[in-house]
Structure 1
Amino acid sequence: MAALRAGDAPTAILAAREAADADPAALSLWINLALACRIGGDTPGERVALERALELDRLDFTAQLRMAQLLQREGEETKALIAWDGVQQLAQQYPGLPDPVRAELAAGEAFCGQLRSRLAEATTAALAADAGERDETERRRIDAFAAAALGQRRIYANECAGLYYPFLPADEFFDRRHFPWFAALEAEAGAIRAELDALLAEPGEAIRPYVRMEPGSPENKWTVLDGSLDWSACFLLEYGVPNAAVIERCPHTARVLDSLPLARIPGRAPNAFFSMLRPRSRIPAHTGVTNTRAIIHLALDVPPGCGFRVGGETRQWVEGKAFAFDDTIEHEAWNDSDARRAVLIIDAWNPHLSERECAAITAYFAANDAALG
């Protein structure tokens, strides 16, 4: 160390190597040797010293950082990108790192950002050849695959609070081709909205807070919406049971619902309700009950500034248009506008289930209810 301070790198390298050879299990001595070699321009020696240090402790932060920097200097870009990813993950465990080290991490992240940009450009070019020939499913899956491979997005898994059906695709948004009846539903959007507007003009007790927690529930992410009309609902069908008072005021909407191939399980499904989100309100990220269903949103009254995220994909509602998603994938919604947002939400079967599987699920619930009362 004295030789390093004096600027005598050759002497420092000899002394550090002698010390490391004398006590090869001392990780710090190999790191000292790597430092001396680095200052002295002995890259092969530095690499050997860092490899020995990592053999002693694969999670040593300093050794990982110096190895990432060495690989970067040597132009070994693929290895450097992997090494820097490991360093950044390890750095999260050390919130009190000094500013000089933070600066080194920032420089490494900038380097990785440049590499990822090059990879993204190359990937986009490579995948563009037949892009125009892809159907909706292929486009969404290829885009998600490429983004995940490039570290640009996360792939989300199902998280069911209730019934989980195995081996179904964990798809965020379902493709429209699974729902050939969407066009008929969308054709009724104007009439459905007219009934909603009339209902909202004199809501009475039809509108209620969507979130109603049990008394004594501990504080959680839903507390801010508990009992609040910031997120409100008006149910036409609740667990398959018609809400006569609302259906009487929305007969056209009720007839539309009767005509749709919804998930119908006595006492359990479907739900069908108007969902209202007040200005400057947000529904926190959450997951649903079962992946056996698809949740349908028909946009009725959507001002600019509203958004909806399912997993790694964010969409905006388009008035008069419907989409379907798996609500056991983490999702959230927001209304950053100064006006109310309103959509119709209904339950349908997960389109990846066959008719026999839907019948089996219905039979399961019937047997469950009969056996347990």
Structure 2
Amino acid sequence: MTHAKKLVEDDRAALNGALEGSLAAIRERHGGERQRRVELCLEALMGKRQVFYSQPTWMYFPELPAIEFFERAEFPWLDAIEAASDEIRAELLRVLVADRDGLQPYIDFPPDMPLDQFRELNRSRSWSAYFLWNQGAVNAGHIARCPVTARVLEAAPLRPRIEARAPTAFFSILDANTRIPPHTGVTNTRLTVHLPLIVPPGCGFRVGATTREWLPGKAWVFDDTIEHEAWNSSGTALRVAA
């Protein structure tokens, strides 16, 4: 087994050397973002990067692109959401003081349902949510407490209204020393937007093979049917994203 493993490693090293020599001129000529997908392909080919696929838990729609994080430039309307992040954060902070009873466990499975990786988080406020919309249902009381947040989200394009399905928008609160385990979303017919609001040190987010650091006020768009996880290892503070 050791001998076979060494042969594979030597073969990969030789292939890597050959490719690097051939690609040097191409990188110099094109480089940057235009070369990014080629580099990801090579990393997967060389065994340096694990390949992840869309794996929805409910409905898979064929032939949609499975992209971990989408390019920010494809969503220019995020500018308005990011510009309002200070006001959105202020509304959140008021909620955390005046309406903590409005927070609910994000994971709330019935006791007879298989819990799998969510056993520790089921019905726990370690990961809680403050919903403005939940699968199409409006929470008028919460929206009244967060009028700026609601107005900004209402102005965002392509926000579908599907009975008992969409939209869903909420503040996601992750306690200190809490980790959301790897999981996938229900369908690849939608994308998910995160806007970090409160980010203590020691927080992170992974989608597929890509890990990113949360930056307050900087949104990103990702496919949640690709395996993803989040963590707050700060030890002392909440991490909150909208």
Q: TM-score, normalised by structure 2?
A: 0.90
**Any gaps of 5 or more consecutive residues in structure 1?**
1-64, 70-83, 86-107, 345-373
Number of the residue aligned with 1:307:
204
**Aligned partner of residue 64 in structure 2, secondary structure:** coil
C-alpha distance in 1 between matches for 2:100 and 2:114: 30
Q: How does 1:253-292 map to 2 (within 5 A)?
A: 253-267=149-163, 268-292=165-189
1:260-282 CA distance string (max 9 Å, x none): 01431332111101001111110
The amino acid that maps onto 2:82 is E
Q: Which structure carries more relative contact order (alpha carbon 8 Å, separation 6+)?
A: 2
C-alpha distance in 2 between matches for 1:202 and 1:126: 62
Number of the residue aligned with 2:120:
224
1:168-217 CA distance string (max 9 Å, x none): 11111111122111112111111111110111112242111100011222
Q: Does 1:340 align with 2:199?
A: no
Please, which of 44, 68, 86 is the counterpart of residue 148 of structure 1?
44
Number of the residue aligned with 2:213:
316
Q: Does 1:244 align with 2:118?
A: no
- Greater fraction helix: 1
Number of the residue aligned with 1:213:
109
8 Å CA contact retained: 1:276, 1:343: yes
**Aligned partner of residue 144 in structure 1, secondary structure:** helix
Equivalent residues, number: 239
Distance 1:149 1:191, change over 3 A: same
**RMSD between aligned residues:** 2.2
Number of the residue aligned with 2:94:
198
Q: Does 1:325 align with 2:217?
A: no
The amino acid that maps onto 2:239 is R
Q: TM-score, normalised by structure 1?
A: 0.60
Distance 1:328 1:218, change over 3 A: closer
Aligned-pair identity (%): 46
8 Å CA contact retained: 2:109, 2:115: no
**Aligned partner of residue 261 in structure 1, secondary structure:** coil
Q: Does 1:294 align with 2:191?
A: yes
C-alpha distance in 2 between matches for 1:156 and 1:234: 30
Number of the residue aligned with 2:65:
169
Distance 1:254 1:282, change over 3 A: same
C-alpha distance in 1 between matches for 2:32 and 2:99: 43
